[in-house]
Amino acid sequence: MKKYKTLKLILGDQLNPAHSWFKDKSDDTVFVIAELMQEAQYVKHHVQKISAFFKAMENFANALKDAGFNVLHLTLVDTKDDNNLPALLTRLAKQHECTSIEYQYPDEYRLKTQLHDFATNSELAVTACDSEHFLLAFNDIDKRFKKDKHVTMEHFYRAMRKQFDILMDDDKPHGGQWNFDANNRNKFSKSDLADIPKPKLFKNDVSTIIERLDKHKIKYFGQIETQLSWPTTRKQAISALDHFCAHLLPRFGQFQDAMTDQCPDKDTFYHSRLSFALNAKILHPRYVIDRVVKEYQQRQDEISISQVEGFIRQVLGWREYVRGVYWKNMPDYANKNQLNATRALPRYFWNGKTKMNCLSHSLTQSLDSAYAHHIQRLMVIGNFCLLTAINPDEVDEWYLGVYIDAIEWVEMPNARGMSQFADDGIIATKPYAASGNYINKMSDYCKSCQYKVKEKVGKDACPLNSLYWQFMQTHRERLEKNPRIGMVYRNWDKQDESLRQETLEQANNYLNNIEKL
């Protein structure tokens, strides 16, 4: 077996071709990219998620080999006897007589702890370096975030815009204001639906990957064909980015929160489909941002600032922000449950079979395609879990397993924090709770629902209406003094006492029969 001096580990979400590791080649160095049972099984994953990561890892390994690097690409067949990552590294270092191991800092607390303990106890020289992906350096997180304290995302976002000179005119925001979110809350009209471009899809053969998963009895869920449609190479990811800039960016902001069940073949709407490529580090966020800004600058007669700013805010602002929250508050963050939610996840989260059309459509889409956009995740699925007091541990596990772009650093602050308010306001200053009125405002789901969105009580009343008021009443002591919520309680108190009681009884009936909704 060939000898190497140094083994460099590349994790499945570290597929960054621009990393400084690849500036020079050395015959004494071998790069390791490995499928592992522990990564396929730490939660039950959607089959498209596992397949996407394994395919992207395979493609990255082949690209490195083609560029002249020494690469060990190991599949589940090769690593079936390695109980965990340290066991794999120990075995490979011994086989190849390595004297040193290097790795990039993982973006997940579980792996960071595992590799840190390995480095501490290993007889080899083990060192770590930055993954060179995020705009905010890891060592700068402590300067921007405080443990268990709320840091306003808008303030963070503005500071990032200034620091990296993105959409700035000297020291002023381009377009005269920092945030155009108020312009970006449109609902699709019937005429809008025909104009939605079809998504850019790819053909990545994952049949052998699925065969490996089945052979090694990896439990998964969800739908998949033999061809995976998500970008798994840099070339594909750039093609998807080009498609977004050319066809989707001009109306991205305008419809970024909109939802419909009328476009099954175009169900990502104006969203970029770049989240997997970004989170696997196939694309660098600065590359994506610069490409989008360049497109805007070249087509300002077609693309308004509000479309561009909405996208930049997600990549430069929110994505970097939740990472900071995650690392500043782990590991305690994973156990936060400030609202004491304990209910089990209903069975229809695994099959989409509920009479609530908004929930059924969002769940079914998630199970079919391993994707739903941020409002479906937050204000449909997440809102339902919040109002029904689902245990945030179960919410976390479901989100982490189902979505193709879900890695814990980005999933947990979004699900446990933003969606479930389990962190008691570290991310959000108020819970994102909503009645059926919000769903009706932003979608056409209610038109074909068995429940009636305008009704609070009665056998056909939208469950979200009574559940919303039951949630607000249950947590009144905690929330009433919040200046963003006080008006809600004043409106509630003005309602007839008998109607309020009937509404709460309706909610309790729905909760007692949650599996039948």
Q: How confident is the model at residue 184 (pLDDT cuts 50, 70, 90)?
A: confident
User: Which stretches within 202-339 are classed as H helix?
Assistant: 207-215, 234-243, 275-279, 285-298, 305-312, 320-329
Residue 510 exposure: Cα atoms within 13 Å on the Cβ side: 31
Neighbours of 155 (CB within 10 A): 12
Pairing between β-strand 29-34 and β-strand 220-221 as defined by DSSP bridges = unpaired
- According to the model, what pLDDT value does residue 265 have? 85
Residue 78 to residue 496: CA distance in whole angstroms: 68
Residue 517 to residue 358: CA distance in whole angstroms: 12
- According to the model, what pLDDT value does residue 219 have? 96
Give one DSSP letter per residue of 407-426, joined into a string.
-HHHHHIIIIIIIT-TTSSS
CATH architecture of 6-129: 3-Layer(aba) Sandwich (3.40)
Task: Write out 52-72 in H/E/C secondary structure.
Answer: HHHHHHHHHHHHHHHCCCCEE
Q: What is the model's pTM?
A: 0.96
Q: Which of 30, 26, 33, 24 has its CA nearest to residue 4?
A: 30
CA distances from 442 to 45, 189, 192, 268, 445 (A): 30, 10, 13, 15, 9
C-alpha angle with apex 417: 149 to 269, nearest 5 degrees?
A: 130
Report pLDDT digits (tens) over 342-395: 999 999 999 999 999 999 999 999 999 999 999 999 999 999 999 999 999 999
Q: What is the mean pLDDT of the chain?
A: 96
Q: What is the mean pLDDT of residues 37-44?
A: 96
Residue 327 to residue 331: CA distance in whole angstroms: 8
Report pLDDT digits (tens) over 489-505: 999 999 999 999 999 99
67-72, long-range: CB < 8 A, 24+ apart: 67/22, 68/25, 69/22, 69/25, 69/29, 69/31, 70/2, 70/4, 70/27, 70/29, 70/30, 70/31, 71/30, 71/31, 71/32, 71/33, 72/30, 72/31, 72/32, 72/33, 72/34
pLDDT at 247 over 90: yes
- According to the model, what pLDDT value does residue 183 have? 81
Q: Which of 9, 6, 63, 3 has its CA nearest to residue 29?
A: 6
Neighbours of 84 (CB within 10 A): 14
pLDDT at 226 over 90: no
Give the type of residue at 215: K
CATH architecture of 347-516: Orthogonal Bundle (1.10)
Q: How confident is the model at residue 150 (pLDDT cuts 50, 70, 90)?
A: very high
CATH architecture of 138-329: Alpha Horseshoe (1.25)
CA distances from 346 to 11, 223, 277, 404 (A): 33, 20, 31, 22
Give the type of residue at 454: K
Beta bridge partners of 259: 443
The CA R_g of the chain, rounded to the nearest whole Å, is 24
Residues 396, 337 contacting (CB under 8 angstroms): no
Pairing between β-strand 172-173 and β-strand 125-129 as defined by DSSP bridges = unpaired
Residue 481 phi, psi (nearest 5): -85, -5
The yes-or-no answer to whether 138-329 and 347-516 have a common fold is no
Task: Write out 373-403 in H/E/C secondary structure.
Answer: CHHHHHHHHHHHHHHCCECHHHHHHHHHHHC
Residues 376, 269 contacting (CB under 8 angstroms): no
- Domain edges within the chain: 6-129, 138-329, 347-516
Q: What is the mean pLDDT of residues 46-73?
A: 98
Residue 516 to residue 510: CA distance in whole angstroms: 8
Residue 515 to residue 351: CA distance in whole angstroms: 12
pLDDT at 182 over 90: no
Q: Which of 514, 483, 259, 220 has its CA nearest to residue 362?
A: 259
Neighbours of 458 (CB within 10 A): 12
Residue 165 phi, psi (nearest 5): 50, 55
- According to the model, what pLDDT value does residue 435 have? 97
Residues 49, 368 contacting (CB under 8 angstroms): no
Residue 391 to residue 343: CA distance in whole angstroms: 5
